[in-house]
Structure 1
Amino acid sequence: MSTQTWNETRVRELHDDLVFLYDPVDRVAEHGADPTADPGEGVRQLVTTILSQNVADENTRRASEALFDRYDDFAAIEAADHDELKETIRVAGLPDQKAARIQRALTAIREETGGAYSLAFLDAMATNDAKAWLTDIKGVGPKTASVVLNFHFGKPTMAVDTHVERVSKRFGLVPESASNGRAHEVLDEQIPDELIYPLHVLLIRHGREHCSARGANCDNPVCEKYCNCEYC
């Protein structure tokens, strides 16, 4: 783990070095100019992110397609027979838990809005308050909440998946002993608001292409400058 002190200047240097290695991140190309234009899109992203917990992207895609092909709307998903719902999303893994989490989330949203399946109310809330509202739903952790808040609403909160956590710890951005919840807090404090989304994307790419969990390929200028892991 790097022993150098991290400050805003160094975080910006890391961003620039990752951009040099991988190219700039185009948020509009990935999420559209205004992802909040469809009130239901935030709910769909929350449901899909719950499906994605601890599973590969391909299985998330298959489960999401099966879910939205089978049920006409969010009301039908919330009212679905639990056993039927879990069989529909089984390919995503942990079907019993994820079915319950999805239905709890939809119930919480409907009750909060007085009947609508929309997360638009989160847009007006402070980031910490919006994250607290989401994580009050059993089964919605800080990563799931941060994905929805950052990707959909553009709020400054880092979604820390396994790649972001691993690379951040190897670079010394986050203490090696930090829990995933603490990693979210540290990165939200360390990273300038406008860099949270691009650094999220770039750290994931670096984790996939170079800084893998085992047998990392450290022969690149970013690892040479920032990392001191066992593979360097």
Structure 2
Amino acid sequence: MQIDNSEERIRNIHQDLLEVYGEQDWHDDKDGVRQLLVTILSQNVADENTARAAENLFKDFKNYEEIENASVDELADSINPAGLPQTKAQRIQRTLKALREHGDKEDYSVEFLGDMEDSDAQDWLEEIKGIGPKTASVLLNFHFDADVMPVDTHVERIAKRFRLIPFSASNGKAHELLNEAVPHDIKNSFHMLIIEHGKNNCSARNPTCEETKLKRYCSRYELVENGDLTPEEYPPEEME
């Protein structure tokens, strides 16, 4: 499979995504700490479950200090709709502790990250156990408009099918390659639109590529059209 992640091709994909789905609304919470905690809740779970867990969290606890000092069981019970409640409760409390202890002033803020180079801010966040490239990139891109590309499961899957990155690329490598390839001025929009395409058409199983003009970018659809795969089959490298 020949990789083509040229700027021209990526901008063409972006334009076609816009024509199919329209510009996507995105919300910067203004409170970066809240945004970071909600992003932790969103790890590997549907949006509606994230919303329920976030609503519970900020209803059950008055402030970040209460969240940090709660028992893990109490916090886990509050965020249970997000799945993996014990694990995510510990991640949230580790994150709040790291933010509070940073610098001379003990408070809960992410604003110091805006004074760092993007790569340094990403590294600082990823030093917190449970925060990976995607969670860090979401905060930096949405809250600070940093030149980083969040890569979730939808983005990674579609980037591989669209031949933007190799199928063999790890999630970390996918972040690296897409950060380099996707122009800064469309990173946020491209990320949101790819997620929309993943939810609506390019699902992990039984994708409906033929229903949109985006099929022309898809390596899997090309194999089906050429008779090399049936619609129910997947390229061997995608199944690895």
TM-score for both structures, normalised by structure 1 = 0.90
- Which among 71, 85, 89 is matched to residue 81 of structure 1? 71
Structure 1, residues 166-215: CA drift from partner, whole Å, max 9, x if none?
Answer: 11000011110111111111100101111110100111111111111111
What one-letter code is carried by the residue in structure 2 that aligns with 1:30?
W
Partner of 1:139 in structure 2? 130
Question: How many angstroms does 1:6 deviate by?
Answer: 2.2
CA distance in 2, matches of 1:153, 1:6: 25
CA distance in 2, matches of 1:158, 1:184: 7
Question: How many angstroms does 1:24 deviate by?
Answer: 3.0
CA distance in 1, matches of 2:147, 2:209: 30
Partner of 2:174 in structure 1? 183
CA distance in 2, matches of 1:86, 1:23: 37
What one-letter code is carried by the residue in structure 2 that aligns with 1:133?
W
Question: How many angstroms does 1:72 deviate by?
Answer: 0.6
| 4+ residue runs over 2 A deviation | 3-6, 29-32
% identity of equivalent residues: 51
Change (3 A) 1:221 1:76: same
Partner of 1:66 in structure 2? 56
Partner of 2:214 in structure 1? 222
What one-letter code is carried by the residue in structure 1 that aligns with 2:10?
V
Partner of 2:11 in structure 1? 12
Partner of 2:90 in structure 1? 100
Q: Secondary structure at the match of 1:229?
A: helix
Unmatched tracts of structure 2, length 5 or more: 226-240
What one-letter code is carried by the residue in structure 1 that aligns with 2:16?
D
- Which among 33, 40, 47 is matched to residue 50 of structure 1? 40
Report the more deviating stretch, 139-148 or 57-66: 57-66
Instruction: List aligned pairs for 1:125-164, cutoff 5 A.
Output: 125-164=116-155
RMSD, aligned CA: 1.5
CA distance in 2, matches of 1:83, 1:22: 41
Unmatched tracts of structure 1, length 5 or more: none
